[in-house]
């Protein structure tokens, strides 16, 4: 019989590998707050899934994608500063989701699990969703890598070179929405951005090219998942936060090595 921990480990490793290149774009584009907003808004998707009795992973994907599509034009057309608008939407959607769940009669939801993740409760159905979406996202990233990178460096120059800047921006936020939705089960609403940002920030300090950074971000993320799960087993700590602690430890070590490098 397959060991019970293999499915959570497989889900975490696949997601970390996927989050590497997406997290690199988040760091390059300074979209960390955008990812946070999607994660907080995903609680509305959980509410929808619970109240309508549909698959929660599907509900999460739909809610994140719809929120991403709404936020993109809203940011561009609003007179409110982008960070202020994202802050309002982020906290409002989280509050609305929590209130809606509390008002639902006869519905009991493990809010701690959704807020901080429940990696050890991952099932085969979750792994299947993560694997399917990962193949799709990685395929699109490989197909449009140059265009996405060009738009990240300079949207104006990318437009001059003939890249469809608006469509590539939409693709970027949709891919980010998918990864955020998938990561909810692993690290939860409050920590999902950490899985995207911290391994990518760690890779940035040692990588010399964008491709190297994307690959190293995946490697560091996968190491953090493995170390976090191991620590969770040994010390009986929550798996999601343990993964983030492991990723943070790697980041701090990378900063220390960076400081020591000139003295060598």
148-202 tens-digit pLDDT:
999 999 999 999 999 999 999 999 999 999 998 888 877 888 788 889 999 999 9
**Residue 226 in domain:** yes
Check residue 108 and give its pLDDT. 66
**Residue 1 in domain:** no
Whole-model pTM: value is 0.88
**Residue 15 in domain:** yes
Q: Is the pLDDT of residue 32 over 70?
A: yes
Q: Identify the band that residue 3 occupies on the pLDDT scale cut at 50, 70 and 90.
A: low
Looking at per-residue confidence, does 23 or 262 come out higher? Answer: 23
Domain of residue 65, CATH code: 1.10.3470.10
Check residue 110 and give its pLDDT. 66
The domain containing residue 125 runs over which residues?
6-263
Looking at per-residue confidence, does 97 or 196 come out higher? Answer: 196
* CA gap 147, 190 in Å, rounded: 31
**Residue 96 in domain:** yes
**Residue 33 in domain:** yes
Question: Do 61 and 50 meet the contact criterion of CB atoms below 8 Å apart?
Answer: no
How would you class 59 by CB atoms within 10 Å of its CB: exposed for 0-12, middle for 13-18, buried for 19 or more?
Answer: buried
**Residue 104 in domain:** yes
* CA gap 32, 45 in Å, rounded: 20
Please compute the mean of the pLDDT values over residues 137-144 and round it to a whole number.
94
**Residue 186 in domain:** yes
Q: Of 83, 114, 106, 108, give the one whose Cα is nearest residue 183.
A: 114
- The per-residue pLDDT of the chain, averaged, comes to 85
Please compute the mean of the pLDDT values over residues 117-145 and round it to a whole number.
87
Number of domains composing the chain = 1
**Residue 129 in domain:** yes
Check residue 257 and give its pLDDT. 85
Q: Identify the band that residue 1 occupies on the pLDDT scale cut at 50, 70 and 90.
A: very low
Check residue 107 and give its pLDDT. 62
**Can you list the alpha helix ranges (DSSP code H) found in the chain?**
6-29, 32-52, 56-77, 82-103, 111-116, 124-153, 155-160, 165-187, 192-204, 210-235, 239-260
Check residue 264 and give its pLDDT. 45
């Amino acid at each position: 019989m397959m060991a019970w921990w293999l499915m959570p480990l497989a889900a975490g490793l696949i997601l970390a590998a996927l989050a590497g290149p997406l997290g690199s774009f988040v760091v390059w584009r300074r979209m960390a707050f955008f990812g946070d907003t999607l994660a907080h808004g995903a609680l509305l998707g959980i509410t929808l899934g619970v109240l309508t009795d549909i698959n929660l992973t599907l509900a999460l994907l739909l809610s994140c994608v719809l929120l991403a599509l709404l936020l993109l034009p809203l940011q561009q057309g609003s007179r409110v500063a982008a960070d202020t608008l994202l802050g309002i939407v982020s906290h409002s959607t989280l509050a609305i989701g929590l209130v809606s769940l509390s008002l639902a009669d006869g519905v009991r939801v493990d809010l701690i699990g959704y807020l901080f993740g429940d990696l050890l409760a991952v099932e085969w159905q979750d792994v299947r969703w993560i694997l399917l979406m990962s193949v799709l996202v990685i395929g699109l990233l490989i197909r449009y890598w140059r265009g996405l990178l060009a738009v990240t460096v300079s949207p104006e120059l990318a437009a001059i070179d003939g890249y469809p800047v608006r469509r590539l921006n939409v693709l970027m936020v949709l891919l980010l929405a998918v990864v955020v939705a998938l990561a909810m089960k692993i690290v939860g609403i409050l920590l999902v951005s950490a899985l995207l940002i911290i391994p990518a920030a760690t890779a940035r300090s040692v990588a010399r090219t964008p491709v190297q950074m994307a690959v190293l971000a995946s490697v560091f993320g996968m190491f953090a998942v493995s170390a976090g799960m191991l620590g969770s087993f040994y010390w009986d700590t929550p798996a999601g936060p343990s993964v983030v602690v492991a990723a943070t430890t790697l980041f701090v070590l990378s900063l220390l090595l960076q400081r020591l490098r000139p003295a060598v």
